[in-house]
Chain A
Amino acid sequence: GNSVTQMEGPVTLSEEAFLTINCTYTATGYPSLFWYVQYPGEGLQLLLKATKADDKGSNKGFEATYRKETTSFHLEKGSVQVSDSAVYFCALLKTSYDKVIFGPGTSLSVIP
């Protein structure tokens, strides 16, 4: 079946460090891929998405590229800030009538 695997963390980085959170998926065809972020005490919100191979999603300095050949959608940011401390979820959606499959989430703490 469809699934999403991501590094679980927790990940602790110093401010201005480079961030990579790995995400790989298992699905047939061409699912849409998403990164959601959950700030402390809040619900999840969309960070970025990509709907076809080689698409790059970007938002707030974060980027992720849909790599069909490696079935991956790794999240990157060149210089993290304390305000980026949150839990990050990778997710996929196969078709309109499927449910969204979420990864387990990766907790990120950025220290000054």
Chain B
Amino acid sequence: EAQVTQNPRYLITVTGKKLTVTCSQNMNHEYMSWYRQDPGLGLRQIYYSMNVEVTDKGDVPEGYKVSRKEKRNFPLILESPSPNQTSLYFCASSLLNRANTQYFGPGTRLTVL
């Protein structure tokens, strides 16, 4: 089954404790992206990647890191989480084609205390 998986689905952590949210897709997509969704602010892009070893900042990259060492994986790293990073996070992937659908993961709800 074609899908984007994220882990963990729920995470409660404390300020400053490094964490990684994993994202994996099995569709051989070149493009992968991370978004955060906050009430009243819609979807905001954090980072994206057009292919292996190619990443770029989105609209709200501060406090986040990503890597793309393999085509299927695109982990999101929070080196020192802060309470303002409490949010719902989505990973998405697609082919590099102007008509192509973005496939979204199920989301990771992160709470930083």
- A residues contacting B by CB (< 8 A) are 31-32, 34, 36, 42-46, 49, 51, 89, 93-100, 102-105
Contact = CB atoms under 8 A, between A and B. Distances in A.
Nearest to A93: B98
B104 A44 contact: yes
B48 to A, nearest CB: 6
A98 B90 CA distance: 19
Contact of B102 (A42, A44, A51): A44
A95 B106 contact: no
Contact of B96 (A89, A96, A104): A96
A28 B99 CA distance: 16
Contact of B48 (A31, A45, A99, A104): A99
Interface string B27-39: 0000001000000
Contacts of B96: 96-97
Contacts of A98: 98
A44 B90 contact: yes
Contacts of A36: 102
Given A32-B99, A46-B102, A99-B45, 13 more contacts: A43-B92, A43-B105, A43-B107, A44-B102, A49-B99, A49-B101, A51-B99, A89-B43, A93-B99, A94-B98, A99-B48, A102-B42, A103-B42
B58 interface: yes
B98 A99 contact: no
A23 to B, nearest CB: 13
Contacts of A43: 4, 90, 92, 104-107
B84 interface: no
B102 A100 contact: yes
Among the interface residues B4, B45, B50, B98, which one has the most CB atoms of the partner chain A within 10 A? B98
A45 B90 CA distance: 12
Interface string B86-97: 000010100011
B33 A96 contact: no
A44 B101 CA distance: 11
Contacts of B99: 32, 49, 51, 93
A42 B9 CA distance: 11
